[in-house]
């Protein structure tokens, strides 16, 4: 069976607060653990009133402390915003508190607008140093050398698994070069998906892991009917359209007519960005998930979905977990080798 995981942005729906969002995140993680999800990842975004996971390491600690077995991590930390030593200390601390349960996915985007990036007190040119920063970060998780002057405490010797996240060929090439697992942001930027996966697999050389390990990100909006699934998806469609027009905000309430809400031009852009999505009833979602797995042969999938109503969001992930288990049991050819 292909492992399946959760990517959560700790969404703040219209009419709710960040406190509600973080309580909902923990509730979803506890349910995901009981349904067989392997990982629960949170993402770093800043200055967005619809996302409560800005202090990502803190929220990861909140989730890890409220669960028992599921791996918890970042999907991801935007490394140009931080000194590698600080991230090593944060995740070294998490790994010390929750041994063998912490993952660290890193990306090179700022995770925000340029004005906010400046407020984070990091140079906008830091993304150019991303490969060197990744190597430095990984070194802090290794056992310290006898005369090493700078150490991550906690951190050294924890060997926190590092993943490269990306939506372009750059991340695929870096993950292959360093021998790291690779997660592609196909849930919102699928344009280079096919080429990136091919580059990663063909150029991979053993490093932290011995063989390539590719994770595919898929949006899931599962409900009792196709119509209800499409209605649940409309919240994310609105949020994405507003983000691209420079007007982010809390996660909108769902609507019945998305075209009337965002217009045909925005709809075309949104549909292309969110094309790696499984939307509808359990049967429809099963067909879509099976098709994506057959097409891209991921070693793992990570499922996400911005849904306004928390109960509906939990139900969507419950349906998706059952589908992933059914796919693994019914179609062994879809399972990772």
For 150, the 3-state DSSP assignment is coil
- How confident is the model at residue 336, as a pLDDT? 37
Burial code (b: 16+ CB inside 10 Å, e: under 16) for 21-47 equals bbbbbbebbbbbbebebbbbbbbbbbe
d(CA 101, CA 94): 9
**Cβ atoms of residues 193 and 171 within 8 Å:** no
**136: how many CB neighbours lie within 10 A of its CB?**
17
d(CA 213, CA 288): 22
Please tell me the pTM assigned to this model. Answer: 0.94
Pairing of β 102-107 and β 162-166: parallel
d(CA 148, CA 131): 21
Please write the tens of the pLDDT for every residue from 187-230: 999 999 999 999 999 999 999 999 999 999 999 999 999 999 99
Burial code (b: 16+ CB inside 10 Å, e: under 16) for 150-174 equals ebbebbbbbebbbbbbbbbebbbbb
- How confident is the model at residue 337, as a pLDDT? 35
- How confident is the model at residue 329, as a pLDDT? 80
User: Residues 32, 27, 86, 92: is their CA dihedral positive or negative?
Assistant: negative
- The helix or strand, by DSSP H or E, that contains position 293, with its residue range, turns out to be helix 282-296
**Cβ atoms of residues 123 and 86 within 8 Å:** no
Pairing of β 214-222 and β 182-184: parallel
Rounded (to 5) percent helix, strand, coil in the chain: 50, 15, 35
Burial of 149 (0-12, 13-18, 19+ CB in 10 A): exposed
- How confident is the model at residue 333, as a pLDDT? 46
User: Residues 292, 296, 297, 302: is their CA dihedral positive or negative?
Assistant: negative
Locate the domains of the chain by residue range.
4-219+298-334
Taking only the tens of pLDDT, the chain with its 337 residues reads 899 999 999 999 999 999 999 999 999 999 999 999 999 999 999 999 999 999 999 999 999 999 999 999 999 999 999 999 999 999 999 999 999 999 999 999 765 677 777 787 666 565 578 999 999 999 999 999 888 999 999 999 999 999 999 999 999 999 999 999 999 999 999 999 999 999 999 999 999 999 999 999 999 999 999 999 999 999 999 999 999 988 999 999 999 999 999 998 899 999 999 999 999 999 999 999 999 999 999 999 999 999 999 999 999 999 999 999 999 886 554 433 3
Q: What's the token pair of residue 182? A: 């690779």
Q: What's the token pair of residue 160? A: 């926190």
- How confident is the model at residue 149, as a pLDDT? 92
Does the domain spanning 4-219+298-334 belong to CATH 3.60.70.12? Answer: no
Please write the tens of the pLDDT for every residue from 278-313: 999 999 999 999 999 999 999 999 999 999 999 999
- The helix or strand, by DSSP H or E, that contains position 102, with its residue range, turns out to be strand 102-107
């Amino acid at each position: 069976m292909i492992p399946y995981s959760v990517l959560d942005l700790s969404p703040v729906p219209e009419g709710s607060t960040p406190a509600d969002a973080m309580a909902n995140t923990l509730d979803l993680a506890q349910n995901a653990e009981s349904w067989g999800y392997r990982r629960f990842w949170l993402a770093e975004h800043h200055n967005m009133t619809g996302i409560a996971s800005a202090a990502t390491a803190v929220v990861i600690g909140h989730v890890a402390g409220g669960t028992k077995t599921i791996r918890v991590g970042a999907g991801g930390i935007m490394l140009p915003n931080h000194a590698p030593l600080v991230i090593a200390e944060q995740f070294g601390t998490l790994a010390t508190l929750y041994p063998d349960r912490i993952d660290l996915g890193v990306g090179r985007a700022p995770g925000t607008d340029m004005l906010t990036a400046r407020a984070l007190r990091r140079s906008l040119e830091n993304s150019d140093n991303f490969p060197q920063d990744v190597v430095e970060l990984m070194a802090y998780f290794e056992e310290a050398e006898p005369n090493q002057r700078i150490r991550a405490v906690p951190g050294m010797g924890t060997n926190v698994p590092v993943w490269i996240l990306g939506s372009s060929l750059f991340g695929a090439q870096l993950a292959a070069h360093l021998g790291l697992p690779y997660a592609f942001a196909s849930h919102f930027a699928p344009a280079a998906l096919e080429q990136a996966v091919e580059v990663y697999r063909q150029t991979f050389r053993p490093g932290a892991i011995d063989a390539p390990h590719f994770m595919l990100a898929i949006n899931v909006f599962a409900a009792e009917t196709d119509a209800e699934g499409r209605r649940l998806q409309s919240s994310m469609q609105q949020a994405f359209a507003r983000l691209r027009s420079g007007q982010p905000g809390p996660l909108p309430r769902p609507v019945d007519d998305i075209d009337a809400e965002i217009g045909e031009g925005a709809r075309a852009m949104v549909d292309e960005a969110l094309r790696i999505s499984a939307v509808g009833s359990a049967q429809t979602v099963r067909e879509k998930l099976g098709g994506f797995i057959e097409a891209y042969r991921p070693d793992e999938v990570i499922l996400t979905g911005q849904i306004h109503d928390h109960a509906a969001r939990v139900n969507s992930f419950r349906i998706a977990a059952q589908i992933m288990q059914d796919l693994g049991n019914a179609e062994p050819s879809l399972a990772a080798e």
